[in-house]
RNA sequence: GUCCCUGUAGCUCAGCAGGAUAGAGCGGCUGCCUUCUAAGCAGUAGGUCGUGGGUUCGAGUCCCUCCAGGGACGCCA
C-alpha cells in the first residue's frame, strides 16, 4: 500500500540524514501519513517534522528540508515539497495513478484485501440476544455493525469466526417458559395467570396459539413440570428459528450458534470454578460464591453462584470466554454488546486476566441505544412490556439495504435516532440508493458500450489525465487503506462515508467525461476506468452487506 | 451518590493515535435534462465545535471544573 511505502521512504530518509550528520540521533517515532484536506497540498502528507521539534530542537521547516533532501526519486511520486509550518507533502505521478486502474482490474472482486491479520484467528460474537422474543432495532444495529466488521476483518486477512451465543438456561429462560406455559393454557381456554415478571408481549400469545394449533393440548396431559419443560423446548426452538430468519433477512449469518447450556454439560463451568478457586479469586459470603473482582481493582465483587446453587449469567460468560481463549485458542476475541451490558465490560476484562489471559486479546464494542421515532414522536422499546417495533417490521417497511445503511452510518459509541417514517418516505433519497445508483449507472454505460461494439480491449490507461478521472482513481485507491483503518479501530461506520464519497466522485466524473464516444482509444481507456470503479463500488457495498444492483 | 457513553450547521451525524481554511446527508435558496440512467450535477446560505480553565509551536481532538441528554450500578441477562 502506498501509504506504507511513503512512511518507509520517510523513515529511511531520516536515518540517512542522521548518518550524514544533518539530524541528531534519536529513536524513530511512528511515521503517520495522512491525506491533506486541501488537494493543493498533494496526495499524502506527513507532519513528522513538527513532532520532531521537541526531540531535535531544530526549526520544523529545517527538519523537513533535511528529510526531503534524503528522499530518493521513486516511480510513484512526482514531487515532494515542504510547506509551512513543517509539513512534507507528496504529489503522485499522474501516469502512476492511471496505471493503478490495471491493478484494480487485476485484483477484481478481491480489491481492497490486505494482509494485516496474517491469518490470525479471531472470533467475533455479536447480537447474542436471549431467545425469549423477537429482535428489535437495537439488536439490528449490533447485527449490522458486527457482520460488517466480520466482512472487513476477513478482507484484512484475519481468519474470522462469526458467533451467536444464546442463553438457553438461567432465570430469564425460566421466566420465558412460565410465560409461555400461561399463554398456552389460556389459548386452550384455561384460566392461567402470567408470572410476575413474565414476558407480556403480544408475541407470546401468538407463539402459544401457534403451538396449540400444531401440537394440540398434549403438554397439558403431561405432569406439569414435564409439560412446562417440553413446551419450553419447542418455544425456544421456535424463537431461535425466528431470530435466525430475521437475521438472515438482514443479511447476517453465523458460523457458530453457541448454547449456554453446553457450558454446564461439557464441563467448562466446572473448570473455571476450579481455576478461580486455585488462584484465590473465589470467596463465600451470605451463602453465595463470589468472584473477588475488587482484588483486581473493580468497584465490587460479583456473585458467580447464587445461594440457591444456580450459577449466574456472569459465571456462564466466564466459562464461555474460557472456551474461546483456552479451548478454541482464538488469538483475538471481539464481543459486541448493547449499551445495557456496559457494566459487564470491566468485570469481564478482570476475570479474563484472572484466568491468566492477556486482557488486550479481548475487545469489547458497546453499541449505544437506538431511539425509535415515528415522525417526531419517540417510540419506547421494551421487550418485557412488549411495547416495541420489531426488526422484522422495520425490514419489511424500509428494506434490508436501507436499514443496514442507516444502522451502520453512526459510530457505535453514539446514540442514534431512527425515524421509521423518514426511512420509508425518503427511501428514494436514502444515501444507500445514491451509492447503488452510481453502480447501476456504470452497468448501464457498459451495456451501451456493448451494444455499440465498443470494448476496453487494448485500452491505454495513460490516456486518463483529467482531474475528474484522477480524482476518481485516487478515491478508489483508498479502499485498502480504509480496510486497514477499520481493522485497527474496529469502527466500520467509516465505510458508509467512503461509499458516498466514492459515488460522488464517480457522479462528478460522469458529468464531465463522456465514456462511449467516437474517440476509440479514449473510449477503451475510460471503459477500463469505469469497470474498475464498478468493482470498487461493488466491493464497498459488498463489505457493508448490501446489494450492488445492475439497474435501478 | 459512583462509573461509562454522548454534546460539532435548522435536523441527523462524520472528523481516521492533536496538525494546514471545521465536513457530509437531509432541509432552505439559485441554476442545469435533443448527448452513456436527473435516484444526478453545479452554486449559495448556515458554526464563538455545551461551559470555564489547563497542557503546547499548534486543541473539535488530550487533562480538570461545571452544565445537559442517555445508560449502568441485581444472588436479571
ipTM of the complex: 0.95
Q: What is the pLDDT of residue A387?
A: 57
Residue of A110, A210, A219, A208 lying closest to A156 (CA atoms): A110
Q: B59 C1' – A368 CA distance, angstroms? A: 27
Q: Is residue A433 part of a domain?
A: yes
Residue A516 and residue A524 in contact, taking contact as beta carbons nearer than 8 Å: no
Residue A352 and residue A359 in contact, taking contact as beta carbons nearer than 8 Å: yes
Report the protein residue whose CA lies nearest the C1' of nucleotide B4: A342
**Which DSSP category does A532 fall into?**
H
Q: B43 C1' – A124 CA distance, angstroms? A: 46
Q: B54 C1' – A54 CA distance, angstroms? A: 20
Q: What is the pLDDT of residue A297?
A: 85
How far apart are the C-alpha atoms of A13 and A489, rounded to whole Å?
Answer: 29
Q: Is residue A100 part of a domain?
A: no
Domain tally for chain A?
A: 3
Residue A414 and residue A368 in contact, taking contact as beta carbons nearer than 8 Å: yes
Q: Taking chain A (552 residues) in consecutive chunks of 10 residues, what is each chunk's mean pLDDT?
A: 88 90 83 87 92 84 91 91 91 94 96 95 96 92 97 97 95 92 95 89 93 95 94 96 96 97 96 96 94 90 95 96 97 95 93 94 94 75 61 91 94 90 75 94 96 92 94 95 95 96 95 94 96 97 96 90
User: Chain B bases under 7 Å from protein CB?
Assistant: 2-7, 12-17, 19-27, 35-42, 56-58, 69-77
Residue written as grid cell 446489494: A547
Could you write out the three-class secondary structure of A47-112? CHHHHHHHHHCCCHHHHHHHHHHCCCCCCCEEEEEEECCCEEEEEECHHHHHHHHHHHHHHHHHCC
Q: B64 C1' – A476 CA distance, angstroms? A: 43
Q: Is residue A249 part of a domain?
A: no
Which contiguous run of DSSP H or E holds residue A350? helix A342-354
Query: DSSP string of A133-152?
Result: S--BHHHHHHHHHHHHHHHH
Residue of A63, A69, A1, A79 lying closest to A33 (CA atoms): A1
Residue written as grid cell 515539497: A81
Q: Tabulate helix, strand, coil % of chain A (nearest 5).
A: 55, 15, 30
Say if residue A539 is in the same domain as residue A438: yes
What's the CATH number where A539 sits? 1.10.730.10
Q: Is residue A186 part of a domain?
A: yes
Q: CA A473 from chain center: how many Å?
A: 26
Nearest nucleotide, CA A368 to C1' = B5
Q: What is the pLDDT of residue A163?
A: 98
Tell me how crowded residue A333 is: count the other CB atoms within 10 A of its CB.
23
Q: Quote the cell numbers at residue A300.
A: 465490587
Domain of residue A470 covers: 429-543
How far apart are the C-alpha atoms of A81 and A338, rounded to whole Å?
Answer: 48
Of A residues 511-530, those with CB within 7 angstroms of nucleic strand B are: 511, 513-516
Could you write out the three-class secondary structure of A372-416? EEECCEEECCECCCCECCEHHHHHHHHCHHHHHHHHHCCCCCCCE
Q: B10 C1' – A410 CA distance, angstroms? A: 20
Strand partners, A285: A288
Residue A57 approaches strand B within 7 Å at CB: no
Strand partners, A367: A338
**Which DSSP category does A366 fall into?**
E
Local structure of A185: helix, strand or coil: helix
Residue A538 and residue A503 in contact, taking contact as beta carbons nearer than 8 Å: no
Residue of A441, A434, A440, A437 lying closest to A515 (CA atoms): A441
Nearest nucleotide, CA A530 to C1' = B36
Q: pLDDT tens-digit profile of A189-224? A: 999 999 988 888 889 999 999 999 999 999 999 999
How far apart are the C-alpha atoms of A165 and A243, rounded to whole Å?
Answer: 12
Query: Which is it for strands A87-92 and A77-83: parallel, antiparallel or unpaired?
Result: antiparallel
Q: What is the pLDDT of residue A4?
A: 86
Of A residues 415-454, those with CB within 7 angstroms of nucleic strand B are: 415-417, 426, 428-429, 431, 433-434, 437, 440-441, 443-445, 447-449
Q: What is the pLDDT of residue A2?
A: 85
Nearest nucleotide, CA A197 to C1' = B76
Distances from the Cα of A195 to the Cαs of A38, A178, A210, A236, A313, in angstroms? 64, 7, 20, 18, 21
Of A residues 238-297, those with CB within 7 angstroms of nucleic strand B are: 285-288
Tell me how crowded residue A186 is: count the other CB atoms within 10 A of its CB.
18
What's the CATH number where A21 sits? 3.30.1360.70
Q: What is the pLDDT of residue A55?
A: 80
How far apart are the C-alpha atoms of A281 and A552, rounded to whole Å?
Answer: 61
How far apart are the C-alpha atoms of A538 and A543, rounded to whole Å?
Answer: 9
How far apart are the C-alpha atoms of A538 and A329, rounded to whole Å?
Answer: 34
Q: What is the pLDDT of residue A3?
A: 87
Q: pLDDT tens-digit profile of A350-391? A: 999 999 999 999 999 999 999 888 766 777 655 555 556 889
Report the C-alpha dihedral over residues A401, A405, A406, A408, rounded to 10 degrees: 130
Q: What is the pLDDT of residue A410?
A: 94
Q: Is residue A144 part of a domain?
A: no
Residue of A183, A134, A98 lying closest to A474 (CA atoms): A98
Q: B31 C1' – A506 CA distance, angstroms? A: 22
Q: B39 C1' – A182 CA distance, angstroms? A: 51
Of A residues 129-158, those with CB within 7 angstroms of nucleic strand B are: 130
Q: Is residue A74 part of a domain?
A: yes
Average pLDDT score over chain A: 92
Q: What is the pLDDT of residue A430?
A: 84
How far apart are the C-alpha atoms of A497 and A207, rounded to whole Å?
Answer: 41
Please work out, in degrees rounded to the nearest 5, the angle formed at the alpha carbon of residue A126 by the alpha carbons of A125 and A129: 120
Local structure of A333: helix, strand or coil: strand
Of A residues 189-228, those with CB within 7 angstroms of nucleic strand B are: none
Q: Quote the cell numbers at residue A549.
A: 444492483
Q: Is residue A498 part of a domain?
A: yes
Residue A65 and residue A82 in contact, taking contact as beta carbons nearer than 8 Å: yes
Q: Is residue A145 part of a domain?
A: no
Burial A238-276 (b: 16+ CB within 10 A, else e): bbbebbeebbeebbbebeeebbbebbbeeebbebbbebb
Helical spans, DSSP H, in A216-284? 224-249, 261-265, 268-278
Distances from the Cα of A497 to the Cαs of A37, A359, A406, A431, A435, in angstroms? 15, 32, 11, 10, 10
Could you write out the three-class secondary structure of A422-491? HHHHCCCCCHHHHHHHHHHHHHHHHHHHHHCCCCCCCCCHHHCCCHHHHHHHHHHCCHHHHHHHHHHHCC
Distances from the Cα of A431 to the Cαs of A200, A438, A499, in angstroms? 37, 11, 9
Q: What is the pLDDT of residue A374?
A: 75
How far apart are the C-alpha atoms of A509 and A491, rounded to whole Å?
Answer: 29
Amino acid at each position: 500500500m502506498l501509504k506504507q511505502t511513503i512512511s518507509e521512504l520517510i523513515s529511511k530518509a531520516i536515518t540517512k540524514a542522521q548518518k550524514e550528520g544533518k539530524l541528531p540521533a534519536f529513536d524513530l517515532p511512528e511515521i503517520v501519513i495522512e491525506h491533506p484536506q486541501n488537494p493543493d497540498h498533494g496526495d499524502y502528507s506527513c507532519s513528522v517534522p513538527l513532532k520532531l521539534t521537541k526531540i531535535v530542537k531544530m526549526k520544523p521547516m529545517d527538519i523537513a528540508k533535511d528529510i526531503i533532501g534524503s528522499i530518493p526519486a521513486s516511480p510513484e511520486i512526482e514531487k515532494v515539497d515542504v510547506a509551512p509550518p513543517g509539513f512534507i507533502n507528496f504529489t503522485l505521478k499522474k501516469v502512476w495513478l492511471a496505471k493503478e486502474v490495471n491493478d484494480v482490474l487485476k485484483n477484481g472482486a478481491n480489491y481492497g484485501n490486505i494482509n494485516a491479520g496474517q491469518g490470525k484467528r479471531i472470533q467475533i460474537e455479536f447480537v447474542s440476544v436471549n431467545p425469549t422474543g423477537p429482535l428489535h432495532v437495537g439488536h439490528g444495529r449490533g447485527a449490522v455493525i458486527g457482520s460488517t466488521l466480520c466482512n472487513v476483518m476477513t478482507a484484512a486477512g484475519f481468519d474470522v469466526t462469526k458467533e451467536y451465543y444464546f442463553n438457553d438456561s438461567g432465570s430469564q429462560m425460566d421466566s420465558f417458559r412460565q410465560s409461555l406455559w400461561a399463554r398456552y393454557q389460556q389459548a386452550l381456554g384455561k384460566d392461567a395467570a402470567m408470572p410476575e415478571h413474565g414476558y407480556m408481549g403480544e408475541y407470546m400469545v401468538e407463539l402459544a396459539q401457534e403451538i396449540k394449533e400444531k401440537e394440540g393440548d398434549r403438554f397439558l396431559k403431561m405432569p406439569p413440570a414435564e409439560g412446562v419443560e417440553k413446551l419450553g423446548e419447542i418455544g425456544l426452538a421456535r424463537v431461535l428459528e425466528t431470530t435466525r430468519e430475521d437475521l438472515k433477512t438482514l443479511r447476517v449469518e453465523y458460523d457458530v450458534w453457541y448454547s449456554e447450556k453446553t457450558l454446564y454439560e461439557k464441563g467448562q463451568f466446572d473448570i473455571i470454578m476450579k481455576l478461580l478457586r486455585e488462584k484465590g479469586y473465589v470467596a463465600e459470603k451470605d451463602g453465595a460464591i463470589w468472584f473477588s473482582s475488587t482484588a483486581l481493582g473493580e468497584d465490587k465483587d460479583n456473585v458467580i453462584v447464587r445461594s440457591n446453587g444456580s450459577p449466574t449469567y456472569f459465571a456462564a460468560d466466564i466459562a464461555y470466554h474460557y472456551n474461546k481463549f483456552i479451548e478454541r485458542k482464538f488469538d483475538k476475541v471481539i464481543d459486541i454488546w448493547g449499551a445495557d451490558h456496559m457494566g459487564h465490560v470491566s468485570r469481564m476484562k478482570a476475570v479474563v486476566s484472572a484466568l491468566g489471559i492477556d486482557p488486550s486479546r479481548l475487545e469489547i464494542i458497546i453499541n449505544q441505544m437506538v431511539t425509535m421515532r415515528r415522525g417526531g414522536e419517540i417510540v419506547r422499546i421494551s421487550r418485557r412490556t412488549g411495547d416495541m417495533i420489531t426488526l422484522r417490521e422495520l425490514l419489511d417497511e424500509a428494506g434490508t439495504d436501507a436499514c443496514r445503511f442507516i444502522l451502520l452510518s453512526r459510530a457505535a459509541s453514539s446514540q442514534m435516532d431512527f425515524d421509521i417514517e423518514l426511512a420509508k418516505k425518503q427511501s428514494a433519497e436514502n444515501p444507500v440508493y445514491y451509492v447503488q445508483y452510481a453502480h447501476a449507472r456504470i452497468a448501464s454505460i457498459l451495456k451501451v458500450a456493448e451494444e455499440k461494439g465498443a470494448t476496453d480491449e487494448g485500452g491505454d490507461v495513460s490516456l486518463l489525465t483529467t482531474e475528474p478521472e484522477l480524482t476518481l482513481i485516487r478515491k478508489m485507491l483508498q479502499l485498502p487503506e480504509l480496510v486497514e483503518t477499520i481493522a485497527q479501530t474496529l469502527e466500520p461506520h467509516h465505510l458508509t462515508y467512503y461509499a458516498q464519497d466514492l459515488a460522488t466522485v464517480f457522479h462528478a466524473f460522469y458529468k464531465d467525461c463522456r465514456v462511449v464516444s467516437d474517440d476509440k482509444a479514449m473510449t477503451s481507456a475510460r471503459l477500463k476506468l469505469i469497470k474498475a470503479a464498478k468493482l470498487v463500488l461493488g466491493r464497498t457495498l459488498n463489505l457493508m452487506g448490501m446489494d450492488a444492483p445492475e439497474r435501478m
